[in-house]
Structure 1
Amino acid sequence: MGKLTRRARAKADYLGFLGAREWPLAASGLGVLLGVVTILPSAIGVVLSVVALALGVTTFTRDVRLLRRRWAGFEFTTIAAPFPTAELPPPSAYPQAEYVAVPARGTALVSAAIDRDLWTGRHTIEVAEEPYRLPASLKATAPHVLPLRARGRLLFNGPVVGMRGDPLPAAGARPAPIRLHRARFFDAVCSNELGTLRITRTGTGEEYDLRKAELTDSAGALRELSSSSLADHVGVSTVAFTTDGKLVTVRQSALNAVSGLLLAPSGSGSLEPRDLRTPDGGARRLLHTAVRAGMERELCEESGLTPDDVRGTKVVGFARWMDRGAKPEFFGLTELAVDSAEVARRRPVSGERLYSAGLTLFDVDLAAIGAALADGVPLSEALPQRLWEDGSLPLLLALRAAAAWQAARV
Structure 2
Amino acid sequence: MGKLTRRARAKADYLGFLGAREWPLAASGLGVVLGVVTILPSAVGVVLSVVALALGVATFTRDVRLLRRRWAGFEFTTIAAPFPTAELPPPAAYPEPAYLAVPARGTALVSAAIDRELWTERHTIDVAEEPYRLPPALKATAPHVLPLRARGRLLFNGPIVGMRGDPLPAAGARPAPVRLHRARFFDAVCSNELGALRITRVDTGEEYDLRKAELTDTAGALRELSSSTLADLVGVSTVAFTTDGKLVTVRQSSLNSVSGLLLAPSGSGSLEPRDLRTPDGGRRRLLHTAVRAGMERELCEESGLRPADVRGTKVVGFARWMERGAKPEFFGLTELAVDSAEVTRRRPGSGERLYSAGLTLFDVDLPAIGAALAGGVPLSEALPPRLWEDGSLPLLLALRAAAAWQAARV
TM-score by length of 2: 0.99
SS state at 2:311 partner: strand
Displacement, 1:59?
1.2
1:115 corresponding residue in structure 2: 115
Measured in 2, the distance between the counterparts of 1:358 and 1:33 equals 47
Displacement, 1:47?
2.0
1:82 corresponding residue in structure 2: 82
Displacement, 1:317?
0.1
C-alpha distance after superposition, 1:230-252 (max 9, x if no partner): 00000000000000111000001
C-alpha distance after superposition, 1:172-193 (max 9, x if no partner): 1211111111111111001000
SS state at 1:250 partner: strand
1:180 corresponding residue in structure 2: 180
SS state at 1:4 partner: helix
2:190 corresponding residue in structure 1: 190
C-alpha distance after superposition, 1:310-367 (max 9, x if no partner): 0000000000000100000000000000001100111112211000011011111111
Measured in 2, the distance between the counterparts of 1:48 and 1:206 equals 47
Worse-superposed segment, 350-359 or 42-51 = 42-51
C-alpha distance after superposition, 1:52-89 (max 9, x if no partner): 11221121111111111111111001110000000000
Measured in 2, the distance between the counterparts of 1:89 and 1:198 equals 21
SS state at 2:15 partner: helix
Measured in 2, the distance between the counterparts of 1:57 and 1:244 equals 68
Displacement, 1:50?
1.6
Measured in 1, the distance between the counterparts of 2:120 and 2:350 equals 36
2:395 corresponding residue in structure 1: 395
After superposition, residues 5-404 of structure 1 pair within 5 angstroms as 5-404=5-404
Measured in 2, the distance between the counterparts of 1:382 and 1:152 equals 35
TM-score by length of 1: 0.99
Measured in 2, the distance between the counterparts of 1:297 and 1:351 equals 15
C-alpha distance after superposition, 1:142-174 (max 9, x if no partner): 111111111111111111000000000001121
Worse-superposed segment, 368-377 or 39-48 = 39-48
SS state at 2:376 partner: coil
Measured in 1, the distance between the counterparts of 2:45 and 2:172 equals 80
C-alpha distance after superposition, 1:225-271 (max 9, x if no partner): 00000000000000000001110000011111101110000000000
Displacement, 1:49?
1.1
Worse-superposed segment, 55-64 or 368-377 = 55-64
C-alpha distance after superposition, 1:103-158 (max 9, x if no partner): 00000000000000000111111111111111111111111111111111111111
SS state at 1:251 partner: strand
SS state at 1:353 partner: helix
SS state at 1:231 partner: coil
Which ranges in structure 2 are unaligned for 5 or more consecutive residues? Answer: none
C-alpha distance after superposition, 1:360-386 (max 9, x if no partner): 111111111001000000000000111
Worse-superposed segment, 56-65 or 205-214 = 56-65
Displacement, 1:43?
2.0
Displacement, 1:309?
0.2
Displacement, 1:51?
1.9
Measured in 2, the distance between the counterparts of 1:403 and 1:102 equals 18
Measured in 1, the distance between the counterparts of 2:117 and 2:171 equals 10
Measured in 2, the distance between the counterparts of 1:159 and 1:16 equals 15
Aligned positions, number: 410
Measured in 2, the distance between the counterparts of 1:57 and 1:338 equals 64
Structure 1: 4+ residue segments shifted above 6 A: none
Measured in 2, the distance between the counterparts of 1:33 and 1:243 equals 63
SS state at 2:354 partner: coil
Measured in 2, the distance between the counterparts of 1:388 and 1:345 equals 26
SS state at 2:69 partner: helix
Measured in 1, the distance between the counterparts of 2:71 and 2:261 equals 31
Worse-superposed segment, 167-176 or 228-237 = 167-176
C-alpha distance after superposition, 1:276-330 (max 9, x if no partner): 0000000100000000000000000000000000000000000000010000000
RMSD: 0.7
Worse-superposed segment, 123-132 or 230-239 = 123-132
Measured in 2, the distance between the counterparts of 1:363 and 1:78 equals 36
